Amino acid sequence: MTQVFDLAANSTRELNQTLQRANGGSAIEQWRVVNPNGAHNLAVGLDAPSRVEIEGHVGYYCAGMNKYAHIVVHGNAGPGLAENMMSGLVRVTGSASQYAGATAHGGLLVIEGDASSRCGISMKGVDIVVQGAVGHMSAFMAQSGRLVVCGDAGEALGDSLYEARLYVRGNVAGLGADCVEKSMKDKHKREVEQLLAEAGISGVDGAEFRRFGSARELYNFKVDNAHAY
């Protein structure tokens, strides 16, 4: 049975306390949150396999620190969506603002619209699938994980990239420091198609994507560059 929580009559703190009470419970609780009206910090710190549907737009840091929960936002999301996410699934049916999935360690983040700048900044193992485009400096200092972009990517994609794997179907405005295009092999095509399937996106061929990764030139100190320090 789905339980309804009305944010027009209750506070954000009351919502999060209510959702967090499910932590450690054996039953999967299902929630429908109405009247979010762009409120910040909704459904943060969840640590149980609950299912939360938010009916409307949300503000800053929705679904932050998520662990195990399945959270769907039926609308757009403000900055910091799913920041430091550990596991579970976070889906936004609209678009997301800056630094979606920042520092996230695991799980799957799906953005059905566009994502603004710095999507996946410092990502540490999360999988991010964006059905639209991403803004400039996406995957900046990304350490591990995978970013799949079905649309275009802005300037400085993958700047100071470590070992995350980036796949872009559309145009790339420019690559950041140490980010280079790499060959797209059959195993990479299968990887993209698997992630698209997990994100619920059909009708897109993995062979249409280009792969980007680290040139690994920033890993080691070079004596020729000593004057710059």
- Residue 163 is part of a domain; what is its CATH number? 2.160.20.60
Residue 96 reports pLDDT greater than 60: yes
Which class for 24: exposed (0-12), middle (13-18), buried (19 or more C-beta within 10 A)? exposed
Residue 160 reports pLDDT greater than 80: yes
d(CA 22, CA 109): 22
Q: What is the mean pLDDT of residues 29-44?
A: 96
What's the pLDDT score for residue 220?
A: 72
Q: Which of 25-39, 70-84, 91-105, 151-165 has the lowest mean pLDDT?
A: 25-39
Residue 187: CB atoms within 10 A of its CB come to: 7
Reported as a single tens digit per residue, the pLDDT across 100-152 is 999 999 999 999 999 999 999 999 999 999 999 999 999 999 999 999 999 99
pTM to 2 decimal places: 0.94
What percent of the chain stands above pLDDT 90?
Answer: 90
What's the pLDDT score for residue 219?
A: 74
Reported as a single tens digit per residue, the pLDDT across 185-201 is 999 999 999 999 999 99
How confident is the prediction for the chain on average, in pLDDT? 94
Q: What is the mean pLDDT of residues 168-175?
A: 98
What's the pLDDT score for residue 228?
A: 65
Domain count, the chain: 1
Asked if 134 and 155 count as a contact pair (C-beta separation under 8 A), the reply is: no
Q: Which of 95, 166, 157, 159 is nearest to 128 (CA)?
A: 166
Which class for 26: exposed (0-12), middle (13-18), buried (19 or more C-beta within 10 A)? exposed
d(CA 80, CA 6): 23
Q: Which of 24-33, 53-62, 192-201 has the lowest mean pLDDT?
A: 24-33
E strands within the chain? 2-6, 30-34, 51-55, 70-73, 89-92, 108-111, 124-130, 144-149, 165-168, 179-182, 210-214
Reported as a single tens digit per residue, the pLDDT across 199-209 is 999 999 999 99
d(CA 217, CA 209): 24
- Give the DSSP letter of residue 28: P
Instruction: Give the structural domain span for 131.
Output: 2-228
Compute the C-alpha angle 210/215/221, nearest 5°: 165
